[in-house]
Amino acid sequence: MIPIDADELIKLMKKMDEDDPIDFTNVPADSDELERLVAKNVTMQIAGLQEAQFSPDHQLILMQVIASRLLLENLVLKLNIEVAQGRNPREALRLLRAKLGTADPTTASPPKSSIILP
């Protein structure tokens, strides 16, 4: 696994943001500051995996687990916001499934992204 530094990770995050922007409207911090905080944390975690001599396959599996967990947490937070704003929970879930590209989670296809990795 070829590590990238925090600056390169931020560039890739910004490229992904073009396809699916994050709404920082009510966040009491600068988006650049938060992106740097996250990028540094992720690069430190990857460095720790490499120092612990995890195999590249194990590193990839762990990153998939972490990404899946964070995406699930994000989905639940979005659902909770929709419901708190008065949307029917089933309708909120239907809309989020549509945004993810499938009404049936067992037939999900990979998301489209304009990111081209180095």
The pLDDT, as a whole number, for residue 34 is 94
Kindly state the percentage of the chain with pLDDT values over 70.
85
pTM for this one? 0.66
pLDDT at 40: 95
Pairwise pLDDT comparison (87 vs 103), residue with the higher score: 87
Looking at the fold, whether 47 and 63 belong to one and the same domain comes out as no
Is there a domain that residue 116 lies in? no
CA dihedral 34, 66, 87, 105 (to 10 degrees): 140
C-alpha Rg value of the chain to the nearest Å: 17
Q: What is the mean pLDDT of the chain?
A: 83
Q: Which amino acid is at 28?
A: P
- How many domains does the structure of the chain reveal? 2
Residue 1 confidence (pLDDT) above 90: no
* Distance of alpha carbon 33 from alpha carbon 37, whole angstroms: 6
- Per-residue model confidence as pLDDT tens digits over 49-76: 888 888 888 888 988 998 899 989 988 9
Quick check: is 63 in a domain? yes
Identify the domain containing residue 65 by its residue range: 56-103
